[in-house]
Structure 1
């Protein structure tokens, strides 16, 4: 459970950082009691599943920029961010595992990414910028112009998770990855109370704000935990509220959106990533059974997110696999929520506008639920999405709920998400705790070659 996780990590921290985990309220206890333990899918990939992986990898091949080695986050659009870079690294791990590429290509691709991380320009507060050109490697804004526009602690947290996965599988690269991350100023990402902070550059000055919401914060925090930094406030599910749909209780963020200026939708993505990458376990836990989860709270929340989508078919005969996705034309990006703005099953844009006609059965979400829950419902979902691909370009975003038509936009997030689901099926949870001494440990313990920035030492 969360409290166990915090105890395991808190031994390396200073109390001045405010790293004190507060017990989850009694409502969670009764919420956990309703959890249904489910068995995921495991085993060597069959011929069809290997073809699914090959189709997903086509996206990466088609969208790799030869000069930088970076991969476009959107088909034929030369831009990326830290979350998309994480997607690429996980796709690369899967490609090596499934022998879609040679060991030489894997080495070359990984070396180019690490070189970029070590050399990339940073935002003025010494953290990665929100966006980078994949063709030049320079910081850009959303209009593709050279610019320092700020940072996302949530995106960086996901990248830290992906880098940890790479290091666990390729210890020879650990030194170079640590050298890249040691450039960053973690005090701009996690404050002393343990909240994740993002920022924007306004008139040349950084403007900081708390980032994330329930689910996303907890997931992103695992990346910082790998660096022995505990974002305690971001990992605490309080404050929360409860929505009940089809008799199933779901937790959603209890912070007042009028004060924090952030949407509070319940979405599948963070709970699926917590399952695929950590099996809803604490970061230091080594439990091998997928049916046993050491974080009772997050596993119960994830199970409810799955069951309520399954129940929508049972009650309304509407197939549902909801996640955020890109659309062609305005608003360009939407959240297919399970619950938002006080209403079930809304599709909302960042400004809170409702676009229910854009709701998808998400290819990525369907694949990932299929991997994590072995049920008749996820079998039926796969029938709906398994033909949603271009044989030369990769997997489409999904199928529209309203009429069954394809959303033919192709993205790195979806194709990497397919590969991640298949990698989980083949190997189980992706994150494997390691006690091996790393380059960063030597640096932090050195009196004469200390990195000299706001890093782990600030939080010990």
Structure 2
């Protein structure tokens, strides 16, 4: 790749991150019910729609094929290429030296998965994680409280969305930190010898300041002042709550999906949707992502298993009805605005693809690599095998797995990211050993 192309990649990432920071005004119409919480009666009726839904059986675990291991090696190459040897942090996208707590959590998930699959040995895994933990222990926190929203991979410096040093910071993302806390739980379960480091790190973070009345609270800098906002919507909120509950935090409201739940029928399936706006800016939407993480890392509970079943089945049904392979979630894309939410339902419509600001961008719907691998590991159906057969030729042994295939014309979405390659590894490790929280034997 030329210097010009690398610069273009970096600039696109900066533009995307800056868009997140600006929080652009919502420009699309929103179903009038999205901005109001459901009443107890409405919530009960919403949950009733899942009572008769039979969860799909989970795929049989316990083996890895030669092809699985080849696919895993391709995913691990991303981390070989993008891990800083000094800080131990990993680039969020290929060759772009910025990261978040979410992406650092993805790195830990990928490392544990790689060791479970035999791609690296235990010593290499613990050395990698220990080096990163040491950096996290030294990195400056926002207001001395919690990790900033972004850090420079090469220096560990607190940065803004343009990856430039900033004195105070941007605030903190409670969802990102909760995902990182979950990753620390996986570390402790799989490498107990690293518990002193994980304990010291969590003791350094003022986690109590991002939990209030059983909810996750983010910190956002608005016009130079810190504003505290509830974070999390149905799916992501319950996944983050599970992570925090590993360490005894009271997440009773965050784990309760009922209070802000409405159901939309998509392809004959009841799809769980939050009544609140996403980040108080964009319309509610439902994607695969949090349910994939929940199943692969923690193992489904009864509710998330039913939600995941409906979300997966709607995607398979769309293929049966249209002949168009469907595997949707949030993902990076290689054209402006560089990040999209490909939903099962979002902003008032089935299969809407939305930008952060709420614009529709259905032309960038992607058959997503991580979704194909994860659904196949979790459910192992004829359809998931068909998805994988479509995705398999994309793997680049020198760079890793790209984001997927654009539905509109079959061209490759060439972005290569830490999160996609981490999910590929987690999916293949799940096939071999089950959920990540279970200690590998």
**Aligned runs of 1:197-212 on 2, under 5 Å?**
197-212=217-232
Select which of 167, 174, 184 maps to 1:153: 174
| Cα shift readout 1:186-224 (whole Å, capped 9, x = no counterpart) | 232111x21211112245431111112111101111111
Match of 1:213 among 208, 220, 233: 233
Tell me the equivalent position of 1:360.
366
Deviation sequence 1:360-418 (CA, Å, 0-9, x none): 00000000000011211111101110111222111010001111111111111111110
Change (3 A) 1:388 1:258: closer
For the residue of structure 2 that corresponds to 1:129, the secondary structure is: coil
Alpha-carbon spacing, 1:189–1:388, altered in 2? closer, same or farther (3 Å)? same
Rounded Cα–Cα distance in structure 2 between residues aligned with 1:254 and 1:349: 19
Q: Report the Cα offset of residue 43 of structure 1.
A: 2.5
What is residue 197 of structure 2 aligned with on the other side? 176
Task: Say whether the 8 Å CA contact 1:263–1:350 is kept in structure 2.
Answer: no
Shift of 1:22: 12
Q: What is the aligned partner in structure 1 of residue 397 from structure 2? A: 391
- Shift, 1:36, TM fit: 3.2
Following TM superposition, by how much is the alpha carbon of 1:314 offset from its aligned partner in structure 2, in angstroms? Answer: 1.2
Is contact 1:199–1:209 with CA below 8 Å preserved after alignment?
yes
Q: Count residues in correspondence.
A: 398
Q: What do you get for the CA RMSD once the two structures are aligned?
A: 2.0
Query: SS in structure 1 opposite 2:285?
Result: coil
Instruction: Between 178-187 and 55-64, report the one with greater CA deviation.
Output: 178-187
Per mean C-alpha deviation after superposition, the further-off stretch among 232-241 and 406-415 is 232-241
Deviation at 1:258, TM superposition (A): 9.9
Q: Normalized against structure 2, the TM-score is what?
A: 0.87
Aligned to 2:246: 226
Contact 1:240 / 1:254 at 8 angstroms: preserved in 2? yes
Q: CA deviation at 1:340?
A: 0.6
CA deviation after TM superposition for structure 1 residue 175, in Å: 1.1
Q: How does 1:106-185 map to 2 (within 5 A)?
A: 106-124=125-143, 126-147=145-166, 148-185=169-206
- For 2:182 and 2:349, the matched residues in 1 are separated by 33
Aligned twin of 1:32: 51
Find 2:341's aligned residue among 317, 320, 335: 335
Residue 125 (structure 1) shift? 5.4
Secondary structure of 2:185's counterpart equals helix
Q: TM-score, normalised by structure 1?
A: 0.83
Distance 1:240-1:125 versus aligned 2 partners, 3 A rule: farther
Gaps of 5+ in 2: 1-39
Structure with the largest fraction of helix: 2
Q: Which residue of 1 aligns with 2:92?
A: 73
